[in-house]
């Protein structure tokens, strides 16, 4: 859609796709796009944007005065995957001219202390994003403070996508997607629900590890069976039970052929790979 390194005129971008003509986050209402605009001028508002050494792009949310809140552009960015919106990053080169950097995906966020336009201390939102192409371009003109940003090493990114612990942005996304209930049993005891990957972390690409479509919120028993390929699901959501489980075992485990999973379009490619390993 957009060519890396190519200069685009912002006015024409908005003429073609809509979205807020000013500000850093532009949510295109009639197109599945969110434009992020970054540049040195944002520093005067307390914005801290730029690439970390580990390949994440850290982007400060919108709002020039007072504490930042999750509304308008910040809300759109937070919910971009649920709303099936793609994020496109542009860097300012000169007045009205913006270079396309990359398509990004949100993986986490944090609240941090910064200043507003008047110099007063306030709470800011810093979004943590990753390139979907796997080869992000660096933005040399934008400096960022990373001393306390707790960016993990590349080999430690599983800390962001916690699949067996009760923390992490991946879990937050799945809880939201499945309304805080096990996607199969309807169990709503959030403390025990597990954010399970369909294609395991060890077999997934960086993008797949962060993709909410590659996850299901499951109760412990269902997760254990799913994780060990003793159950899987069709594209229509019907349960598939391994022939290695006898009727007595299925009864003890509470597994029946009537169980069902609501499968979204994005999940199908992952479930196809999972079914190939059904025992």
CATH superfamily, domain at 7-151: SRA-YDG (2.30.280.10)
Residue-wise pLDDT tens digits, 159-201: 333 333 334 678 888 988 899 999 999 999 988 999 999 999 8
Other CB atoms within 10 Å distance of the CB of residue 124: 21
User: Is the predicted pLDDT of residue 69 greater than 60, yes or no?
Assistant: yes
Lowest mean pLDDT among 25-29, 69-73, 113-117, 122-126: 113-117
Model confidence, pTM: 0.56
Q: Any residues with CB less than 8 A from the CB of 248 and at least 6 apart, and which? A: none
Structure confidence at residue 166 (pLDDT): 30
Higher pLDDT, 56 or 221: 221
Where in the sequence of the chain do the CATH 2.30.280.10 domains occur?
7-151
- The predicted structure's pLDDT at residue 251: 94
**Half-sphere exposure of residue 157, counting CA atoms within 13 Å on the CB side?**
20
Task: Encode pLDDT of 223-257 as tens digits.
Answer: 999 999 999 999 999 999 999 999 999 999 999 99
pLDDT of residue 8: 97
CA 133 to chain centre: 14
pLDDT tens figures, 84-110: 999 999 999 999 999 999 999 998 888
Q: In angstroms, rounded to a whole number, what is the distance separating the alpha carbons of residues 253 and 230?
A: 11
> Considering only 21-25, 121-125, 127-131, 202-206, which range has the smallest mean pLDDT?
202-206
- Closest residue by Cα to residue 110 from 71, 182, 59: 59
pLDDT at residue 117 greater than cutoff 70: yes
Q: Is the pLDDT of residue 145 over 50?
A: no
Phi-psi region of 105 (alpha: psi -120 to 50; beta: other; left: phi over 0): beta
Contact 35, 24 (CB under 8 A): no
């Amino acid at each position: 859609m957009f060519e890396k390194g190519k200069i685009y005129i912002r006015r024409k971008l908005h003429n073609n796709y809509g979205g807020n003509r000013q500000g850093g986050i532009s949510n295109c209402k009639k197109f599945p796009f969110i434009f992020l605009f970054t540049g040195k001028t944002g520093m005067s508002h307390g914005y801290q944007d730029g690439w970390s050494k580990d390949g994440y792009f850290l982007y400060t949310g919108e709002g020039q005065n007072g504490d930042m809140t999750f509304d308008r552009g910040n809300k759109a960015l937070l919910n971009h995957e649920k709303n099936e919106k793609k994020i496109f990053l542009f860097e300012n080169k000169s007045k009205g001219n913006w270079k396309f950097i990359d398509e990004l995906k949100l993986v986490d966020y944090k609240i941090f202390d910064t200043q507003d336009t008047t110099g007063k201390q306030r709470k800011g939102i810093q979004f943590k994003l990753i390139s979907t192409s796997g080869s992000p371009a660096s933005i040399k003109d934008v400096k960022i403070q990373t001393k306390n940003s707790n960016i993990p090493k590349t080999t430690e990114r599983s800390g962001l996508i916690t699949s067996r612990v009760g923390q992490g942005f991946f879990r937050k996304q799945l809880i939201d997607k499945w309304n805080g209930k096990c996607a199969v049993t309807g169990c709503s005891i959030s403390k025990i629900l597990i954010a399970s990957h369909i294609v395991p972390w060890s077999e997934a690409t960086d993008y797949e590890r962060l993709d909410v479509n590659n996850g299901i919120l499951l109760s412990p028993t269902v997760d254990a069976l799913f994780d060990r390929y003793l159950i899987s699901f069709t594209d229509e959501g019907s349960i598939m039970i391994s022939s290695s489980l006898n009727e007595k075992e299925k009864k003890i485990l509470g597994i029946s052929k009537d169980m069902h999973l609501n499968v979204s379009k994005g999940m199908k490619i992952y479930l196809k790979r999972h079914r190939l390993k059904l025992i």
